[in-house]
Amino acid sequence: MQSASQAFFGAGCATIGQGGTIPLMNMLSAGFPAAQMMVCGVLGPRSNAHGPNEFLHVPYAKKLTAAVAHVIAQMPA
């Protein structure tokens, strides 16, 4: 994830302790305890999630998609 973050965002990877509103992740981790999961959001600059004018910052979403593809491509077979 570090190399993907550097490649597509020009900065190291960071985490924040949010996501408690995604109960599906708890169920998935309980059902598949050996699985590795990467959960990411697409809120970029000036995005407005769950608001009256909800929208995504498309350039950020494209970078995130490329970064996720990079991470998957680097996984061992």
Are 47 and 55 within 8 A, CB to CB? yes
Residue 72 has pLDDT above 80, yes or no: yes
Answering whether pTM is above 0.85, one says: no
CA 4 – CA 71 distance, rounded (Å): 6
The per-residue pLDDT for range 31-64, each reduced to its tens digit, is: 999 998 888 877 767 777 777 777 888 888 899 9
Distance CA 13, CA 3 (A): 8
Extents of the domains making up the chain? 2-13+22-74
- Produce one character per residue of 14-53: b if its CB has 16 or more CB atoms within 10 Å, e if not: eeeeeeeeeeeeeeeeeeeeeeeeeeeeeeeeebeeeeee
